[in-house]
Structure 1
């Protein structure tokens, strides 16, 4: 199922008010780890899957990537990205991630930030990304952590005083769609285990270089106290893999 909740006016309006929508990469708690996983970008051809507002596309060009293709299914996202971009070497394309079809070895780096948990067939994406990468190329992506996506409620168990007692994990190995409530709308996310993701990459030919479950640094917690809860359960999973 190819989802396009972001072209829903109400959903998009709420998304536009999120801190990361306003503040960009610096407002994304996982950004410092994601950035450190990226390879040298100078003179590289980059594909950005689920590019949204184009924050990552513009960043890699600032690091002297030779060109960037940003892909997103949402026309509203792409309109915002184009309005924020003054760079002829960044090309935005409207497409579902599932429908990408690039030439063999067309890119040196493929990245995707918090988009692939909306995609049903992860193995297919791994194969397509591997095909589109040049030898020695790199795939870096982030998704919501499987501990976070296992149950559709994506919420704590609370005590009588409203205190957060623990984060429930159930149906972990029952992979597939979860209808979650996000920004007052129902969205479908696809839960898949860490093993499924790692094996999907390996079976496509990738070599796993680095993984992170994003243990928050002190300065991140000081900036946003909500991040202290990430010490109790992970929110994001980040993986870097090489061809």
Structure 2
């Protein structure tokens, strides 16, 4: 676990939290990815205890509350994000527990407790993917479900100019890299799909689904093509991947 990078990311997210209020929550899994309504990865969560890793502004937990989950738990590194989540969830039917913590650290969560742990477009912010997966495995009941989404590792490696695409970074190059989209410095992580899969298997998960499909919404069609997640590029390379697995 890299404390310096975690503190850098915390400062960065506190700076930009308001820009990401309600961005891509469930039933969305990420840019141009199929919705939960289509995929049905979670199924019926009624009376389930659920944990959101990187809960952000709390809108995915609100989705869980609307589907009658019995307990809502969330972890996020950012103070500002958790303040927003507390307001989003202030009228929830289910009890809410929010923790300001890196996902690499257990801030006091119970083991063998949760029916579902999920992470929507947040897992790439960890500085220790293996430790994060081990934590999730410990939190889940036997047979519990873990679902996460993140930017597809191929997507940032390919540059686009007009209708031309070029591989600018080796797919084999893993590890931390500078996130340059914001003025405040931040560090993200690059891993191959095989690394995610192998770490999950080594931790004790059984992988049930790997999804790399795209789904172009009417909102996507209205947006400018020069955005980071462009339709032209998405038609060549999926922006998002999703994995569903089970604790065994």
TM over 0.5: yes
Q: Which residue of 2 aligns with 1:190?
A: 189
Whole-angstrom distance in 1 between the partners of 2:99 and 2:217: 38
Whole-angstrom distance in 2 between the partners of 1:234 and 1:143: 11
Q: How does 1:79-158 map to 2 (within 5 A)?
A: 79-85=83-89, 86-87=91-92, 89-100=95-106, 101-150=108-157, 156-158=159-161
Q: How does 1:9-88 map to 2 (within 5 A)?
A: 11-16=16-21, 21=23, 25=26, 29=31, 30=33, 32-33=35-36, 36-85=40-89, 86-87=91-92
TM-score (structure 2 length as normaliser): 0.82
| Contact 1:25-1:31 at 8 Å conserved across structures | no
What is the RMSD computed on CA atoms of the aligned residues?
2.4
TM-score (structure 1 length as normaliser): 0.84
Q: Return 5+ residue gaps in structure 1 as ranges.
A: none
SS in 1 for 2:50: strand
Q: Which residue of 2 aligns with 1:242?
A: 246
Whole-angstrom distance in 2 between the partners of 1:123 and 1:25: 25
After TM superposition, give the deviation of residue 116 of structure 1 in Å.
1.1
SS in 2 for 1:6: helix
Whole-angstrom distance in 2 between the partners of 1:228 and 1:216: 13
| Contact 1:109-1:138 at 8 Å conserved across structures | yes
| Contact 2:102-2:126 at 8 Å conserved across structures | no
- Which deviates more, 173-182 or 109-118? 173-182
- Which deviates more, 76-85 or 25-34? 25-34
| Contact 1:221-1:228 at 8 Å conserved across structures | no
Whole-angstrom distance in 2 between the partners of 1:212 and 1:183: 28
More helix by share: 1
After TM superposition, give the deviation of residue 219 of structure 1 in Å.
5.1
* CA-to-aligned-CA distance 1:95-133 (integer Å, 9 cap, x gap): 111112533211110000111111121111111111111
Label 1:140 to 1:46 Cα distance change in 2 as closer, same or farther (>3 A): same
Label 1:108 to 1:13 Cα distance change in 2 as closer, same or farther (>3 A): closer
| Contact 2:137-2:203 at 8 Å conserved across structures | yes
| Matched length | 229
Whose relative contact order is higher, 1 or 2, with alpha carbons under 8 Å and at least 6 apart?
2
